[in-house]
Amino acid sequence: MTALPDPASARTSSPRLLVMKFGGTLMGSSAAIRHSASLVGRSTAQGVNVVVVVSAMTGVTNQLLKLAEAAETGEIAFANDEIAFMRNRHFTAAQELGAAPDSETVRDIREMHETLRQAVYGVYLLRELTLRSRDLIVSFGERLAAPLMALALAQTGLNSHALTGGQAGILTDSHFGNAKPLPLTYTRVRDRLEGLLNAGLTPVVAGFMGETEKGATSTLGRGGTDFSATIVGAALHADEVWTWKDVDGFMSADPRAVPRAQTIAQLSYGEVMELAYFGAKVLHPLAVTPLQEHNIPLRVKSAADPDFVGTLVTAEAITLHGISVKAVTAIKGVSIITVSGAGILGVPEVVADLFNILARENITLLMVSQSSSMSNVSLAVQSASAERTVAALRTPLAGRRLQVDIQEGVAVLAIVGAGMRGTKGVAARLFSALAGEDINILMISQGSSELNISVAIEEQDVDSATREVHRAFGLDSTEQF
Ligand code: ADP
Ligand code: ASP
Ligand code: MG
């Protein structure tokens, strides 16, 4: 591995305050939580203050979503069984982490499960699961995980205090399921957490969740604990935010799809945003945004190999000579919706209407392309929102003799790297790698930032395409990094 200059080294030689985030796998059992706590202990032993942000135990978020949906369809017995199973899992972990049966933590865990049971029963009675009630239910995963981490920290000799996202000061808008922090969040988080730090306590914040001005529980979108950690990091002007992972860092591709993927030593905020947006599950797409204003570095670190540097994310994009593309990523489960017909020819308002409709429906576009004759516009969206998109478009466009078609089973593959800017031949290399594998391209787009080129292809081809493109850009070789 080539040594890269570390732009953050000046400020991080002796950090005073770190925010550390632990995801579901690292919170998956008492043993995993104990190991995670020991990673906190390595820094606190050196006099560093640490704020910990945690995810739900592995699988719990999906389980909560499933049981909430079951309650809505009347399957309350199934939902209650799932809650009982989860309660056991949390009690067992608490016990293994040293909690006495009559301790405050065990009482808290019991009470939280009771509140969860009541919320789920409400959904069952109403047979209605709103985004708001779903957020309340799904937030219990993180709420229940925070006291477990506090127990593990106590075992390492640290005094800690568990908080919900709302208690930590995270105030959001009311876009339940995908809420964003309001500006006031930052002063609130600083006031609340600094008080605990000054009292010698290590705060443990439940990730993924916040609360609205009315006090309703909200969530920041799947994978949102990364975002919670960076919000806290920005609020406290932390020296760095460390997201501990079950991988060595941000890699040149998802290691599950590309076994030869390599760890990337350095990425810019912009590169990370592109990668996360185009499916690199390792970080929430908005996670770096709070860090940008104060230029706070983010490190993606390996929990299994804590001495390894991992990936450093900063404002600067450091590109070694000759490297144009740093990573390949893909989103599966995409659909292409094509609006076509004579009614669109030379009528720019149609395109304006189209985007207005999508904005109103809060539909995220992955790619857009328009033929120069303007006889058709193609939109790539997540398949989960495809039907909603078609329904929203059909009625208003019908009067204009336009046709709306949908193609399912699509994936978007993207190559990302700041070194692509002004480098010739990158697209040609991408296209010939795909052609070499006999893969047909359905749509193409290159952002004007030249940070990425993305192509839509058939979903069945995406894994082999990712491996081939990874190889074609020399990313299989450790020499590159
Ligand atoms: P956490 O629970 O800690 O938030 P995630 O499961 O959300 O962790 O993200 C880590 C996973 O992301 C890895 O196990 C890996 O399979 C997947 N992943 C996808 N793309 C990448 C990539 N480019 N680099 C590293 N990991 C990736
Ligand atoms: N537990 C939440 C999820 O599974 C948030 C997170 O893990 O970051 O999406
Ligand atoms: Mg995640």
Encode pLDDT of 256-302 as tens digits: 999 999 999 999 999 999 999 998 889 999 999 999 989 999 999 99
Confidence (pLDDT) at 154: 97
In-domain check, residue 417? yes
22 vs 4: CA distance, rounded Å: 26
d(CA 17, CA 77): 46
The closest ligand to the CA of 262 turns out to be 1
- One-letter amino acid identity for 325? V
Residue 351 maps to which CATH number? 3.30.2130.10
Query: β-strand 298-302 against 240-245: which pairing, if any?
Result: parallel
Cα of 42 vs centre of ligand 2, distance in Å, is 25
Last residue of a domain, one of 246, 279, 305: 246
Q: Tell the residue nearest (CA) to atom 5 of ligand 2.
A: 223
347/344 Cα distance (integer angstroms)? 5
All residues at 6 or more sequence positions from 425 whose CB lies less than 8 Å from its CB, including other chains: none
Is the same domain home to 62 and 167?
yes
Beta-bridge mates of residue 414 = 329, 454
Residue nearest to atom 4 of ligand 1 (CA): 23
70 lies in the same domain as 189: yes
Handedness of CA 420, 471, 328, 316 (dihedral sign): negative
Atom of ligand 1 nearest to the CA of 245: 3
Residue 457 CA, ligand 1 centroid: distance in Å: 23
- The CATH number linked to 229 is 3.40.1160.10
Q: Whose CA is nearest to atom 9 of ligand 1?
A: 282
CA 190/CA 233 separation, integer angstroms: 9
The response to whether residue 304 sits with its C-beta less than 6 Å from ligand 1 reads no
C-beta 28 within 6 A of ligand 1: no
Q: Which ligand is nearest to the CA of 221?
A: 2
65 shares its domain with 214: yes
| Assigned domain for 263 exists | no
Q: Which residue's alpha carbon is nearest to atom 21 within ligand 1?
A: 254
Residue 203 three-state SS? strand
The number of the ligand 1 atom at minimal distance from the alpha carbon of 55 is: 2
For residue 384, the CA-to-ligand 3 centroid distance in Å is 20
Structural tokens at position 165: 């996202």
Q: Which residues of the chain have pLDDT under 70?
A: 1-13, 320-322, 346, 372-374, 397-398, 448, 478-481
Within this chain, do residues 95 and 204 fall inside the same structural domain, yes or no? yes
Query: What residues flank ligand 2, with Cβ below 6 Å?
Result: 23-24, 55-56, 61, 141, 207-208, 222-225
**Residue 472, domain member (yes or no):** yes
At which of 205, 221, 246 does a domain end? 246
Task: Dig out the tokens for 219 from the structure.
Answer: 């969530």
Cα–Cα distance for residue pair 474/262, rounded to 1 Å: 11
Answer whether residue 9 is part of any domain: no
Q: Is residue 29 part of a domain?
A: yes
Predicted pLDDT at 13: 58
In a shared domain, residues 211 and 345: no
With the most atoms of ligand 1 within 8 angstroms of its CB, the residue from 57, 250, 281 to mutate is 281
d(CA 54, CA 23): 6
> Which range of residues forms the domain containing residue 440?
327-480
The closest residue, in CA terms, to atom 8 on ligand 2 is 223
| Nearest ligand by distance to the CA of 145 | 2
Structure tokens at 14: 């002796």
Tell how far the Cα of 306 is from the centroid of ligand 1, in angstroms.
17
Are 209 and 352 contained in the same domain? Answer: no
**Which residues, in sequence order, are CB contacts of 406 under 8 Å at separation 6+?**
335, 336, 337, 338, 386, 390
127 touches ligand 1 (CB under 6 Å): no
Find the distance separating the first CA and the last CA of the chain, reported in whole Å: 5
Closest approach atom of ligand 1 to CA 253: 23
Select from 229, 245, 251 the least CA-distant residue to 302.
Answer: 245
Looking at the CA of 245, name the nearest ligand. 1
211 and 335 together in one domain: no
Query: Which ligand sits closest to the CA of 208?
Result: 2
Determine the atom of ligand 2 nearest the C-alpha atom of 228: 8
Do residues 133 and 239 both lie within one domain? yes
Q: Tell which one of 222, 245, 278, 283 to mutate to probe ligand 1, the residue whose CB is within 8 A of the most ligand atoms.
A: 245
How many domains is the chain built from? Answer: 2
Helix axes 140-155, 60-72, angle to 10 degrees: 150
Looking at the fold, whether 118 and 241 belong to one and the same domain comes out as yes
Residue 275 lies in a domain: no
Query: What token pair was written down for 2?
Result: 């080539």
Q: Closest Cα partner for 379 from 364, 360, 394, 401?
A: 364
Among 246, 268, 289, identify where a domain stops.
Answer: 246
In-domain check, residue 75: yes
Report the alpha-carbon angle 361-362-364, nearest 5.
120
Same domain? For 239 and 102 the reply is yes
Q: How far apart are CA 157 and CA 358, in angstroms?
A: 53
Is position 66 within any domain?
yes
pLDDT for res 321: 62
3-state secondary structure at position 467 = helix
3-state DSSP percent of the chain in helix, strand and coil, to 5: 45, 20, 35
